[in-house]
Structure 1
Amino acid sequence: MREQALSGLKVLDLSRNIAGPYCTKMLADLGAEVIKIEQPGKGDPSRKEGPFPNDEPNHDASGLFGYLNNNKIGITLDLKSERGVEIIKTLVRDADVLVENFSPRVMPSLGLSYDVLKEINPNLVMTSISNFGQQGDYRDFKGTELITQAMSGFAYQIGDESREPLRAGGALRMMEYISGAFASMSTLAAIAGRRNGNKGKHVDVSITECAVLQTPYRTVQNSFPSSPSIFTKRYVTLPSIEKCKDGYIGISILTGKQWQDFCCMTEMYDWVEDPRFMELFNRIKHRDEFRGRVDKWLMEHTKEEIFKLGVEWRVPITAIPTFGEMLDFPQYKEREFFVSVNHPIMGEVVQPGAPYRLSETPWEIRKPAPLLGEDNAYLFGEILGFTEEEIQLLDREGVI
């Protein structure tokens, strides 16, 4: 097996759902050895989420779990059992990283706090991902995607100003993926710090604070000491998603030059230097007149026609593809972005690849996501040296 960027890095993955598993996925896809630890009999809750082949629920055939857990070694272990905690401590001795995304009280209650684990392995990097971080009045509160988007101010900036704020991303749990990426980056930063003679670190990642980082523009605007109220309007009129003759088109006009080119493209020459529409805030102020004319033009043209005009006039425009259309999008196909993974239950499935390229140590899918407890015999037998009888006893006692 060829070397990858993170070959040799050993990671214990106690996390579940999306944020933690996405963090460890990013490490595993670059070559780290990730041991995915799940609850016996139940597994990661994401195993209960689809899509499933033929819409038949199967904890070994979840499309979400499959995407998040490629390249991982999968075992089951009861962390609430004394024996399970002992096994975790044994695994920690040789680990570089431990990732968890429980509520902040859980790991200490199990006897697996960072203070305990660093005594076993002073070089361990422990990454904890939680809704609100390890400190503060909110640290033990439950959270969901809607709550983190709302508390971060992310939702407030989205939607028509005459209506309620909107959650972004539909069913997609955007903030969990974003926080997983931040967790991966900060974990690698802690690993890099060890090379300078530093010991391990406890990395504390707040999903809500990761969400706040997606709104720096509004944060800065509203921190100005004078007239912050002028920045409260939501941006809904170019840049925006617009309906056209046969679907939807995205139009992003951010500069005066782009506005002038847009006016020439649409043959609205009398608006080229009209102060009511040249600036974003003024387009919102004169929205009714703007919408009446632009909507009429859009409904007279198809997605393809508008896209070609955008290319010709150098106006930032894109058609809004369906998921089916996206899989055949020429740019993605040329870069081989989507990859096929051969799963023992689901068969061949298509998943997003990596948005980056490493020339010498490439990203790759080495193995599909594990079935529940698939690697118990390998890890407990070959790695930890348990006999077959000991493994069977652990199974009967519900430890694995």
Structure 2
Amino acid sequence: MSDVSAELVFRRGKEVGKAVYQNRALSKAGISERLFALLFSGLVYPQIWEDPDIDIEAMQLGEGHRVVTIASGGCNILAYLTRSPAKIDAVDLNAAHIALNRMKLTAVRDLPTQADLFRFFGAAGAEHNSAAYDRFIAPNLDPVSRHYWEKRNWRGRRRIEVFNRNFYRTGLLGLFIATGHRAGRLFGVDPSGIMAATDLAEQRRFFDEKLAPVFDNKLLRWATSRKASLFGLGIPPAQYDSLITSGDGSMASVLKARLEKLACDFPLKDNYFAWQAFARRYPNPGEAALPAYLEKENHATLKANVDRVGIHHANMIEFLAGKDAGTVDRFILLDAQDWMTDEQLNALWTEITRAASPGARVIFRTAAEPSLLPGRVSASLLDQWHYEDEASRDYSARDRSAIYGGFHLYVKRG
């Protein structure tokens, strides 16, 4: 193993562990946390599972804004670039996500055409993508990210070659969705059958008749009662405990409700998250809506703005501590706060409040429905922010990814 690879593995395991560990190593909860940290040290999200259109609307994102976000799979960052903010700092603890984000930005800048970009990140089975990587992306990629994508597996294949097949079937999320499809077929249902629906009524009928009954199966209810069953969604033990409070006490009922929203609340032609969940791919151009960064009309703007992004392998609290006071206009925390202790939440919001400009906006999602901040974050901090309750409920209802219980918007007073 090279020095670059060794440092990458060490840092990603150490940083994820610092965020996840809340219990003694040899306790039952501690063992579960350490298993999650091990799994989370690799690629988790080949794509984000938050709706960036809702993010952009809630943030009122525009030219001149200075943004700090968690990177995740990077689709969100590229969507934000379509609104030409002045600067985006993307932070993540996961080294695989860092490598993915840096590769995506290099691809936007250096692949010759928009069709090449779509072929690389939007199409399935484009067997020459690794050759495009070698010619256009690799020469301009940083050494650590290049090492990640060119590392060979036990079969001798370079990691980048997954883009010759279907990248979105990889990572913990991709494997989790694949497991869901296998489980459905085990119970006599092919989840991809919903893609034949032509309207919301047919989508609803498929869910009620085919998908909903699966969640009453005793085997599935037993399996989902184990916290490790949701590690593939990137849900650590602490977030599992929060998620289960939004149902009837069983995780099966929670998952059923979230899948119902994904399957029934939005037309398939408008929801590329449903395409990934059920069809296991993105739509072709003109077939249905695509992520903003893959839409042809946004390509010129993306290329013009790509150098406004900085990718940082760092802890969010420590990164914000290095920011000058009043210099950040928009904060996107995804669901990271669900992982945090009260001490960590207060440290985070201390730095957010210090770094925020007047009128700054913070958005985040939670596994359960209500905001987790009241009663946990100091009143002296929260009193400096206004919670947009009605707007948050509206954004949550319109979030096409459907996986979260709540979307939340806070606006800096003064």
With normalisation by structure 1, the TM-score equals: 0.22
Counting helix residues as a fraction of each chain, which structure ranks higher? 2
